[in-house]
Amino acid sequence: MTDRLDQTVVVPAAGVIGRRALVASFGAGMIAMLSTSKIGAQTLGILSKLFTAYIYGYAPVAAFATERIQTAVPDSTGVIGLAPVNQFAYATQLADADFTTIIRPNADTIYTLAWLDLNAQPMVISLPEVLNRFYMMAMLDAYTNEFESLGTRTTGSGPGDYLIAGPGWSGTPPPGITQVILAPTPTVWVIGRTLVRGPNDLAAAVGVTVPVNGTGGYRLIPLEQYMGPGTVFIPPVNVPVINPEPQFVPPTGKPATEAVGFSQPIFFQAMQNVIAANPPPSDQVLLVAAFQEVFANADLLTAQIVDAALAAMNAALLGVGKTVNGWQYLLGLGTYGDNFALRAGAALIGLGANNSDDAVYALCDSDTTGVPLDGLQGNYQIRFAAGQQPPVNPQGFWSITVYDQNGLLIHNALNRYLVGSETSLMPDADGSVTIQLQNTEPPPPTPQANWLPVPAGPFNLTLRMYWPDLTAFNTYVIPPVAKL
């Protein structure tokens, strides 16, 4: 997730642009900007459609660009985090301050990622028994809707082999298949997260996720090579590489949406290709058909249209969240229906967001007085009263992570980037838990385990609750960040 949600944005006068009827309307603010130019009504109508189509296409194009970057390798062993289509990419290290390829990385899970192409045949995801460790395998369609989630919350800790098929598949699953899952689109993004309880637990977590000699771990097996539970399968190497288009390669350390292609007419060519390969839901077919005029006039895309669309995305995010005690909750992400502006907004701040049943996120960049957090200006604390730590299922977990203004982890003496339910926080005598945020170690009696190092400069926080309790959505209130 990036910091762009925190930036000041001029929202079109139409207000929060969310549902399809409002997105299609263009907005009074956009019309006001364009009306200063000498353009006819017909051209204005086309520009309005460009605005609508840009918002509709933002998330699927972001996913397309990300896929092309993450699959441009001949095998899964050369570059950590990258793998060809239909193969898992395994992370074997936790993110740290030297990790700059993902904005606002999660520092208490290791990722297992895959991009599936289900046109030729289904794929089988084989999962082992995972005891005493939260994990999840979220599956997103080409439009970034999470349509399925395997793991601790949904399928439990036992082993299972799950057949993932494209839309319309009507074959007979072979013996040994635990469940058949029909994906809405032939393109599927699998985002696996596995809890790591600190550096000393990393080897054990990797032992759960990474196969050895084609057995164990998390595995992807083509259906035609699946021989039942325990199938030994080693992914192929020397797979032909398709390099991403240069316009959709972002600057180093930036997400795919920072690529220049997102502000150029080629954006609509990419959008057209994604839609052709992944037909939209039936209730969106007529809307998408109307975009043919947009594709024919892609060269009319302007910086004004892009800026107005980004404003609409930010407005949609603010419209579904809430802010309490300086914490901005992000709710309602993961599955979007026809709320295309929200879908685009989620792609803007953090592509691949989970459904709230899996995870709830909250952001904070200021103290109780509204002053931006800055470790050079003072020390801070967060105090959870007894029994009032973030509400998660007993098998879930929560954490608070520190980031700099660019959404990156920050070097510190302990190489500690977060604290939470899995980091051995020490309670006070009354059962409360106090987290100290400062750039130098607090003196006794503060336990070192309760010290979350922050930089001598601006910073911000992200609270994550995986497998949240129902109270996380309504009655629970995160304590403020108080300056001492």
Give 322-361 pLDDT, tens digit per residue: 889 999 888 889 999 999 999 999 998 888 889 999 999 8
Q: 103 pLDDT exceeds 80?
A: no
CA–CA distances in Å: residue 16 to residues 20, 67, 321, 448, 452: 12, 30, 12, 44, 36
Of residues 27, 62, 41, 45, the one with CA closest to residue 348: 62
What tens digit of pLDDT does each residue of 122-176 get? Answer: 999 999 999 999 999 999 999 999 999 999 999 999 999 999 999 989 999 999 9
H helix intervals, 321-366:
340-350
Segments forming the whole domain that contains residue 196: 73-225
What tens digit of pLDDT does each residue of 199-211 get? Answer: 899 999 999 999 9
Q: Does the residue 120 lie in any domain? A: yes
Same domain, 385 and 273: no
The number of distinct structural domains making up the chain is 3
* Mean pLDDT along residues 459-463: 96
Q: Does the residue 88 lie in any domain? A: yes
Cα–Cα distance, 383 to 449 (Å, whole number): 14
Q: Does the residue 153 lie in any domain? A: yes
Same domain, 385 and 471: yes
Q: Does the residue 90 lie in any domain? A: yes
* Mean pLDDT along residues 284-312: 94
Look up tokens 């709830």; give the residue. 360
Same domain, 40 and 183: no
Domain boundary among 266, 298, 320: 320
CATH number at residue 169: 2.60.40.1610
Handedness of CA 229, 234, 240, 243 (dihedral sign): positive
Residue 427 CB neighbours (<10 A): 14
Same domain, 11 and 127: no
Query: Backbone phi, then psi, for 53, in 5-degree steps?
Result: -65, -35
Cα–Cα distance, 73 to 428 (Å, whole number): 51
Residue 43: what pLDDT? 65
Cα–Cα distance, 181 to 179 (Å, whole number): 6
* Mean pLDDT along residues 368-377: 95
Same domain, 391 and 468: yes
Same domain, 192 and 273: no
Same domain, 217 and 278: no
CATH number at residue 417: 2.60.120.1600
Do 256 and 66 contact (CB within 8 A), yes or no?
yes
Of residues 70, 65, 105, 109, the one with CA closest to residue 86: 70
- The region of weakest confidence among 95-109, 362-376, 448-462 is 95-109
Paired with 400 in beta bridges are: 419, 463
Q: Does the residue 351 lie in any domain? A: no
Cα–Cα distance, 309 to 30 (Å, whole number): 9
